[in-house]
Protein backbone atom coordinates (compact mmCIF):
# COMPACT_ATOMS: atom_id res chain seq x y z
CA UNK A 1 0.00 0.00 0.00
CA UNK A 2 1.21 3.49 -0.78
CA UNK A 3 1.83 5.68 2.27
CA UNK A 4 -0.28 8.37 0.63
CA UNK A 5 -3.34 6.22 1.31
CA UNK A 6 -2.80 5.96 5.05
CA UNK A 7 -1.26 9.46 5.43
CA UNK A 8 1.33 10.78 7.90
CA UNK A 9 -0.89 10.56 10.98
CA UNK A 10 -2.46 7.24 9.95
CA UNK A 11 1.06 5.86 9.71
CA UNK A 12 2.05 7.23 13.13
CA UNK A 13 -1.14 5.78 14.68
CA UNK A 14 -0.39 2.41 13.15
CA UNK A 15 3.18 2.52 14.52
CA UNK A 16 1.83 3.46 17.96
CA UNK A 17 -0.81 0.68 17.96
CA UNK A 18 1.81 -1.98 17.29
CA UNK A 19 4.29 -0.76 19.90
CA UNK A 20 4.90 -3.20 22.76
CA UNK A 21 3.65 -2.13 26.23
CA UNK A 22 5.87 0.40 28.01
CA UNK A 23 6.91 0.47 31.68
CA UNK A 24 4.92 2.68 34.03
CA UNK A 25 7.56 5.42 34.19
CA UNK A 26 6.72 6.31 30.56
CA UNK A 27 3.97 8.81 31.37
CA UNK A 28 3.40 9.84 27.75
CA UNK A 29 4.75 8.05 24.68
CA UNK A 30 3.78 8.59 21.03
CA UNK A 31 1.10 11.25 20.57
CA UNK A 32 2.34 14.45 22.16
CA UNK A 33 4.86 17.18 21.39
CA UNK A 34 7.40 15.37 23.53
CA UNK A 35 7.53 12.09 25.41
CA UNK A 36 7.25 12.37 29.20
CA UNK A 37 9.34 10.04 31.35
CA UNK A 38 9.08 10.06 35.16
CA UNK A 39 12.46 10.42 36.88
CA UNK A 40 11.00 10.22 40.37
CA UNK A 41 7.77 11.36 42.06
CA UNK A 42 8.35 15.05 41.38
CA UNK A 43 10.46 15.32 38.21
CA UNK A 44 9.99 14.34 34.56
CA UNK A 45 12.23 14.15 31.56
CA UNK A 46 10.86 15.44 28.24
CA UNK A 47 12.21 14.02 24.98
CA UNK A 48 11.52 15.22 21.43
CA UNK A 49 13.00 15.05 17.94
CA UNK A 50 12.46 16.87 14.64
CA UNK A 51 13.98 16.51 11.20
CA UNK A 52 14.47 19.17 8.54
CA UNK A 53 15.09 17.91 4.97
CA UNK A 54 16.38 20.05 2.14
CA UNK A 55 13.72 20.71 -0.54
CA UNK A 56 10.93 19.72 1.89
CA UNK A 57 11.50 21.92 4.94
CA UNK A 58 14.04 24.38 3.56
CA UNK A 59 15.91 25.53 0.47
CA UNK A 60 19.53 26.57 0.77
CA UNK A 61 18.76 29.30 -1.78
CA UNK A 62 16.15 30.87 0.61
CA UNK A 63 17.99 30.77 3.91
CA UNK A 64 21.51 31.17 5.24
CA UNK A 65 23.34 28.32 6.96
CA UNK A 66 23.34 30.42 10.17
CA UNK A 67 19.53 30.81 10.19
CA UNK A 68 19.09 27.17 9.20
CA UNK A 69 21.06 26.20 12.32
CA UNK A 70 18.94 28.50 14.49
CA UNK A 71 15.67 27.18 13.07
CA UNK A 72 16.70 23.51 13.38
CA UNK A 73 17.03 24.00 17.13
CA UNK A 74 14.03 26.36 17.41
CA UNK A 75 11.54 23.76 16.11
CA UNK A 76 12.67 21.34 18.83
CA UNK A 77 12.64 24.01 21.54
CA UNK A 78 9.06 24.75 20.51
CA UNK A 79 8.00 21.16 21.29
CA UNK A 80 9.46 21.37 24.80
CA UNK A 81 7.72 24.76 25.21
CA UNK A 82 4.43 23.08 24.21
CA UNK A 83 4.78 20.70 27.18
CA UNK A 84 5.48 23.60 29.56
CA UNK A 85 9.02 22.31 30.10
CA UNK A 86 12.54 23.68 30.37
CA UNK A 87 14.87 22.57 27.55
CA UNK A 88 18.19 21.13 28.66
CA UNK A 89 20.48 19.46 26.09
CA UNK A 90 20.44 18.14 22.52
CA UNK A 91 22.17 16.01 19.88
CA UNK A 92 22.50 16.86 16.18
CA UNK A 93 22.62 14.32 13.33
CA UNK A 94 23.69 15.57 9.94
CA UNK A 95 23.54 13.77 6.59
CA UNK A 96 25.58 15.90 4.23
CA UNK A 97 25.37 15.68 0.41
CA UNK A 98 28.23 16.43 -2.01
CA UNK A 99 28.82 20.14 -2.53
CA UNK A 100 28.15 21.30 1.04
CA UNK A 101 31.31 23.05 2.22
CA UNK A 102 33.14 23.18 5.53
CA UNK A 103 32.31 26.92 5.66
CA UNK A 104 28.58 26.11 5.35
CA UNK A 105 28.72 23.68 8.28
CA UNK A 106 30.71 26.18 10.41
CA UNK A 107 28.07 28.87 9.83
CA UNK A 108 25.27 26.35 10.46
CA UNK A 109 26.82 25.55 13.85
CA UNK A 110 27.30 29.23 14.65
CA UNK A 111 23.49 29.50 14.29
CA UNK A 112 22.94 26.44 16.46
CA UNK A 113 25.29 27.76 19.14
CA UNK A 114 23.69 31.22 19.15
CA UNK A 115 20.25 29.66 19.66
CA UNK A 116 21.62 27.25 22.27
CA UNK A 117 23.12 30.15 24.23
CA UNK A 118 19.89 32.15 24.06
CA UNK A 119 17.82 29.25 25.43
CA UNK A 120 20.46 27.90 27.78
CA UNK A 121 20.75 24.44 26.21
CA UNK A 122 23.89 22.40 25.50
CA UNK A 123 24.99 20.37 22.50
CA UNK A 124 26.05 16.98 23.88
CA UNK A 125 26.56 14.81 20.78
CA UNK A 126 25.23 13.75 17.41
CA UNK A 127 26.12 11.83 14.27
CA UNK A 128 27.65 12.76 10.91
CA UNK A 129 27.15 10.88 7.64
CA UNK A 130 27.25 11.49 3.92
CA UNK A 131 23.97 11.79 2.03
CA UNK A 132 23.53 10.90 -1.65
CA UNK A 133 21.51 13.97 -2.54
CA UNK A 134 19.89 16.23 0.07
CA UNK A 135 20.97 17.76 3.38
CA UNK A 136 19.10 16.20 6.33
CA UNK A 137 19.21 17.62 9.86
CA UNK A 138 17.80 15.78 12.86
CA UNK A 139 17.90 17.27 16.34
CA UNK A 140 16.76 15.43 19.46
CA UNK A 141 16.26 17.54 22.56
CA UNK A 142 15.85 16.68 26.24
CA UNK A 143 13.92 18.87 28.63
CA UNK A 144 12.80 18.80 32.23
CA UNK A 145 9.53 19.55 34.01
CA UNK A 146 7.93 19.19 37.43
CA UNK A 147 5.59 16.19 37.41
CA UNK A 148 2.47 18.23 38.18
CA UNK A 149 3.22 20.89 35.58
CA UNK A 150 3.49 18.93 32.32
CA UNK A 151 0.79 19.98 29.83
CA UNK A 152 -0.34 17.34 27.32
CA UNK A 153 -2.60 17.49 24.27
CA UNK A 154 -5.33 15.46 25.96
CA UNK A 155 -6.69 17.59 28.83
CA UNK A 156 -9.14 19.94 27.04
CA UNK A 157 -12.72 19.96 28.44
CA UNK A 158 -15.97 21.35 27.07
CA UNK A 159 -16.36 24.91 28.34
CA UNK A 160 -12.61 25.71 28.19
CA UNK A 161 -11.51 28.77 26.21
CA UNK A 162 -9.01 28.38 23.36
CA UNK A 163 -6.03 30.75 23.30
CA UNK A 164 -3.03 31.25 21.06
CA UNK A 165 0.21 33.22 21.53
CA UNK A 166 1.54 35.76 19.03
CA UNK A 167 0.29 36.11 15.44
CA UNK A 168 -0.55 33.35 12.97
CA UNK A 169 0.19 33.03 9.26
CA UNK A 170 3.24 35.30 8.93
CA UNK A 171 5.57 32.36 8.38
CA UNK A 172 3.44 30.89 5.57
CA UNK A 173 3.18 34.30 3.90
CA UNK A 174 6.94 34.75 4.30
CA UNK A 175 7.55 31.43 2.57
CA UNK A 176 5.26 32.30 -0.35
CA UNK A 177 7.10 35.63 -0.75
CA UNK A 178 10.43 33.78 -0.78
CA UNK A 179 9.07 31.49 -3.48
CA UNK A 180 7.97 34.51 -5.52
CA UNK A 181 11.39 36.10 -4.89
CA UNK A 182 9.83 39.29 -3.49
CA UNK A 183 11.75 41.55 -1.12
CA UNK A 184 11.28 44.79 0.81
CA UNK A 185 11.08 45.91 4.43
CA UNK A 186 7.53 44.77 5.32
CA UNK A 187 8.19 41.59 3.36
CA UNK A 188 11.28 41.06 5.49
CA UNK A 189 9.23 40.80 8.72
CA UNK A 190 7.17 37.98 7.22
CA UNK A 191 10.23 36.26 5.79
CA UNK A 192 12.02 36.58 9.15
CA UNK A 193 9.10 34.84 10.86
CA UNK A 194 9.58 31.93 8.45
CA UNK A 195 13.36 31.71 8.55
CA UNK A 196 14.00 32.62 12.19
CA UNK A 197 11.01 31.67 14.38
CA UNK A 198 11.24 32.36 18.12
CA UNK A 199 10.10 29.38 20.20
CA UNK A 200 7.76 30.38 23.06
CA UNK A 201 9.75 28.69 25.81
CA UNK A 202 9.28 31.41 28.46
CA UNK A 203 5.54 31.65 27.74
CA UNK A 204 5.16 27.85 27.91
CA UNK A 205 6.93 27.82 31.28
CA UNK A 206 4.69 30.55 32.71
CA UNK A 207 1.54 28.82 31.44
CA UNK A 208 2.71 25.61 33.14
CA UNK A 209 3.93 27.22 36.38
CA UNK A 210 0.60 28.98 36.87
CA UNK A 211 -1.45 25.89 35.88
CA UNK A 212 -3.38 27.95 33.35
CA UNK A 213 -3.83 25.37 30.58
CA UNK A 214 -5.74 22.08 30.44
CA UNK A 215 -4.01 21.15 27.15
CA UNK A 216 -1.35 22.65 24.89
CA UNK A 217 0.37 22.11 21.52
CA UNK A 218 2.70 24.20 19.36
CA UNK A 219 1.41 25.33 15.97
CA UNK A 220 3.76 23.62 13.53
CA UNK A 221 1.36 22.13 10.95
CA UNK A 222 -1.22 24.96 11.00
CA UNK A 223 -3.82 26.20 13.50
CA UNK A 224 -6.65 23.92 12.31
CA UNK A 225 -4.46 20.81 12.03
CA UNK A 226 -2.90 21.33 15.45
CA UNK A 227 -6.22 22.20 17.11
CA UNK A 228 -7.46 18.94 15.56
CA UNK A 229 -4.74 17.06 17.48
CA UNK A 230 -5.95 18.59 20.77
CA UNK A 231 -9.57 17.68 19.92
CA UNK A 232 -8.69 14.11 18.94
CA UNK A 233 -6.52 13.52 22.00
CA UNK A 234 -9.05 15.15 24.37
CA UNK A 235 -12.21 13.68 22.79
CA UNK A 236 -13.92 17.08 22.47
CA UNK A 237 -15.09 19.55 19.79
CA UNK A 238 -14.37 23.25 19.22
CA UNK A 239 -15.79 26.47 17.86
CA UNK A 240 -13.45 29.05 16.37
CA UNK A 241 -14.13 32.69 15.55
CA UNK A 242 -12.34 33.71 12.35
CA UNK A 243 -12.25 37.40 13.24
CA UNK A 244 -10.50 36.60 16.53
CA UNK A 245 -7.57 34.81 14.86
CA UNK A 246 -4.60 37.10 15.59
CA UNK A 247 -3.14 38.58 12.40
CA UNK A 248 -0.11 40.85 12.45
CA UNK A 249 -0.27 44.33 10.90
CA UNK A 250 2.14 43.17 8.16
CA UNK A 251 -0.14 40.16 7.44
CA UNK A 252 -3.17 42.47 7.05
CA UNK A 253 -1.16 44.81 4.85
CA UNK A 254 0.01 42.13 2.48
CA UNK A 255 -3.42 40.57 1.75
CA UNK A 256 -6.69 41.93 0.45
CA UNK A 257 -9.23 41.79 3.32
CA UNK A 258 -12.36 40.00 2.19
CA UNK A 259 -10.54 37.89 -0.40
CA UNK A 260 -11.45 34.20 -0.31
CA UNK A 261 -8.03 33.10 0.88
CA UNK A 262 -7.53 35.91 3.42
CA UNK A 263 -7.37 33.55 6.44
CA UNK A 264 -5.71 30.59 4.67
CA UNK A 265 -2.14 31.25 5.80
CA UNK A 266 -3.25 31.86 9.41
CA UNK A 267 -5.48 28.77 9.60
CA UNK A 268 -3.58 26.25 7.50
CA UNK A 269 -0.12 27.67 6.79
CA UNK A 270 1.89 26.18 9.62
CA UNK A 271 5.40 26.76 10.96
CA UNK A 272 4.13 29.53 13.25
CA UNK A 273 5.65 27.90 16.35
CA UNK A 274 3.13 29.69 18.54
CA UNK A 275 1.44 27.95 21.49
CA UNK A 276 -2.19 26.89 21.21
CA UNK A 277 -3.78 26.07 24.57
CA UNK A 278 -7.09 25.56 26.31
CA UNK A 279 -8.00 27.36 29.54
CA UNK A 280 -10.65 26.25 32.04
CA UNK A 281 -13.10 29.08 32.97
CA UNK A 282 -11.75 29.46 36.53
CA UNK A 283 -8.22 30.02 35.16
CA UNK A 284 -9.07 32.70 32.60
CA UNK A 285 -8.47 35.53 35.05
CA UNK A 286 -4.76 34.55 35.13
CA UNK A 287 -4.45 35.37 31.41
CA UNK A 288 -4.24 39.11 32.17
CA UNK A 289 -1.16 38.50 34.35
CA UNK A 290 0.36 36.27 31.70
CA UNK A 291 -0.20 38.94 29.07
CA UNK A 292 1.80 41.45 31.09
CA UNK A 293 4.63 38.97 31.61
CA UNK A 294 4.85 37.56 28.11
CA UNK A 295 5.12 40.75 26.05
CA UNK A 296 3.36 39.09 23.10
CA UNK A 297 -0.38 38.86 22.37
CA UNK A 298 -2.41 36.10 23.99
CA UNK A 299 -5.68 35.86 22.10
CA UNK A 300 -8.92 34.02 22.86
CA UNK A 301 -9.94 32.54 19.51
CA UNK A 302 -12.79 30.23 20.47
CA UNK A 303 -14.00 27.64 22.91
CA UNK A 304 -14.13 23.91 23.44
CA UNK A 305 -17.73 22.99 22.60
CA UNK A 306 -19.95 20.72 20.56
CA UNK A 307 -19.60 17.07 19.65
CA UNK A 308 -16.38 15.05 19.89
CA UNK A 309 -14.11 15.79 16.91
CA UNK A 310 -16.39 18.53 15.56
CA UNK A 311 -14.52 21.70 14.57
CA UNK A 312 -16.82 24.55 13.58
CA UNK A 313 -15.55 27.90 12.31
CA UNK A 314 -17.67 31.06 12.29
CA UNK A 315 -17.08 34.41 10.61
CA UNK A 316 -17.71 37.77 12.27
CA UNK A 317 -21.40 37.70 11.32
CA UNK A 318 -21.84 34.31 12.97
CA UNK A 319 -22.06 32.40 9.68
CA UNK A 320 -20.37 29.01 9.62
CA UNK A 321 -17.50 28.69 7.14
CA UNK A 322 -15.80 25.52 5.95
CA UNK A 323 -12.16 24.71 5.26
CA UNK A 324 -11.36 21.58 3.28
CA UNK A 325 -7.62 21.59 3.84
CA UNK A 326 -6.60 21.78 7.49
CA UNK A 327 -2.82 21.91 7.36
CA UNK A 328 0.48 20.44 6.27
CA UNK A 329 1.01 16.67 6.23
CA UNK A 330 3.76 14.59 4.68
CA UNK A 331 2.73 12.00 1.96
Q: Which stretch binds Mg ion (CB under 5 A): 211-219, 250-258, 292-300, 306-314?
A: 211-219
| CB closest to Mg ion, residue no | 33
Burial 69-97 (b: 16+ CB within 10 A, else e): bbbbbbbbbbbbbbbbbbbbebebbbbbe
Q: Does 252 bind ligand ADP (CB under 6 A)?
A: no
- Residue 274 site contact among Mg ion, ligand ADP, none (CB < 5 to 8 Å, cut-off depends on kind): none
Q: Does 271 bind ligand ADP (CB under 6 A)?
A: no
* Neighbouring-strand partners of residue 218: 275
Q: Does 221 bind Mg ion (CB under 5 A)?
A: no
Q: Does 56 bind ligand ADP (CB under 6 A)?
A: no
State the Rg of the chain over Cα.
Answer: 20
Looking at 218, 221, 271, 272, which residue binds Mg ion (CB under 5 A)? 218
Q: Does 22 bind ligand ADP (CB under 6 A)?
A: no
Binding residues for ligand ADP restricted to 104-163, rule: CB under 6 A? none
Q: Does 32 bind Mg ion (CB under 5 A)?
A: no
Nearer to ligand ADP (CB atom), residue 32 or residue 272:
32
Do residues 220 and 75 lie in contact, with contact meaning Cβ atoms separated by under 8 Å?
yes
Q: Judging by beta carbons within 10 Å of its beta carbon (0-12, 13-18, 19+), is residue 158 exposed, middle or buried?
A: middle
Q: What angle do CA 90, 178, 96 make, to 5 degrees?
A: 40
Looking at 71, 74, 79, 92, which residue binds ligand ADP (CB under 6 A)? 79
* Number of residues this chain uses to bind ligand ADP (CB under 6 A): 9
Looking at 32, 50, 79, 170, which residue binds Mg ion (CB under 5 A)? 79
Angle of helix 201-209 versus helix 286-294 axis, rounded to 10: 150
Q: Which stretch binds Mg ion (CB under 5 A): 33-41, 118-126, 190-198, 293-301?
A: 33-41
Binding residues for ligand ADP restricted to 286-325, rule: CB under 6 A? none
Q: Which stretch binds Mg ion (CB under 5 A): 27-35, 101-109, 173-181, 316-324?
A: 27-35
3-state helix, strand, coil in the chain (%, to 5): 35, 25, 40
Strands 136-146 and 26-28, by their bridges, are: unpaired
Q: Does 12 bind ligand ADP (CB under 6 A)?
A: yes
Q: Which stretch binds ligand ADP (CB under 6 A): 27-35, 92-100, 159-167, 255-263?
A: 27-35
Do residues 53 and 71 lie in contact, with contact meaning Cβ atoms separated by under 8 Å?
no
Q: Does 33 bind Mg ion (CB under 5 A)?
A: yes
Nearer to ligand ADP (CB atom), residue 4 or residue 257:
4
Do residues 276 and 216 lie in contact, with contact meaning Cβ atoms separated by under 8 Å?
yes
Which 3 state secondary structure label does DSSP give 88?
Answer: strand
> How many Å apart are CA 63 and CA 54, to the nearest integer?
11
Binding residues for ligand ADP restricted to 199-238, rule: CB under 6 A? 220
> How many Å apart are CA 284 and CA 249, to the nearest integer?
26
In the complex, which residues of this chain contact ligand ADP (CB under 6 A)?
12, 15, 30-33, 50, 79, 220
Amino acid sequence: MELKKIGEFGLINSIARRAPGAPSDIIRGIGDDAAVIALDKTRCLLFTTDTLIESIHFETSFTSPYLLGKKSLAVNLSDIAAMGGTPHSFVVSLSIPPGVTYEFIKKFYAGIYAQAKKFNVSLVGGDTTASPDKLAITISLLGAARAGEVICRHGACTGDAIYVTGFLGDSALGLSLLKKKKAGSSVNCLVKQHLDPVPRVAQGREIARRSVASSMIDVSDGLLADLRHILDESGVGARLRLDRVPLSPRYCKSLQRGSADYYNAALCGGEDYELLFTVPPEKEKTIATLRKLSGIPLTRIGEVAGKKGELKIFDESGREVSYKREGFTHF
